[in-house]
Chains A and B, each alone.
Chain A
Amino acid sequence: AQTVTQSQPEMSVQEAETVTLSCTYDTSESDYYLFWYKQPPSRQMILVIRQEAYKQQNATENRFSVNFQKAAKSFSLKISDSQLGDAAMYFCAYRLSANQAGTALIFGKGTTLSVSS
Chain B
Amino acid sequence: DVKVTQSSRYLVKRTGEKVFLECVQDMDHENMFWYRQDPGLGLRLIYFSYDVKMKEKGDIPEGYSVSREKKERFSLILESASTNQTSMYLCASTPGAMGSTEAFFGQGTRLTVV
Chain A interface residues (CB < 8 Å from chain B): 6, 9, 33, 35, 37, 42-45, 47, 50, 52, 91, 95, 98-99, 101-110
Fill in one digit per residue for B47-74: 1 if any A CB lies within 8 Å of its CB, else 0. 0111100101010000000000000000
B40 contacts across to A, CB distance below 8 A: 9, 109
Please list the 10 inter-chain residue pairs (A to B) with the smallest Cβ-Cβ separation, ordered nearest first: A102-B50, A45-B105, A101-B50, A109-B42, A107-B43, A98-B98, A43-B108, A47-B102, A107-B42, A102-B48
Report Cα–Cα, A78/B56, bound state, in Å.
Answer: 35
Does chain A have a CB within 8 A of B11?
Answer: no
Interface residues of B (CB under 8 A from A): 30-31, 33, 35, 40-45, 48-51, 54, 56, 58, 88, 90, 92, 94, 96-100, 102-103, 105, 107-108, 110
Main secondary structure of the interface of B (DSSP, over half): strand
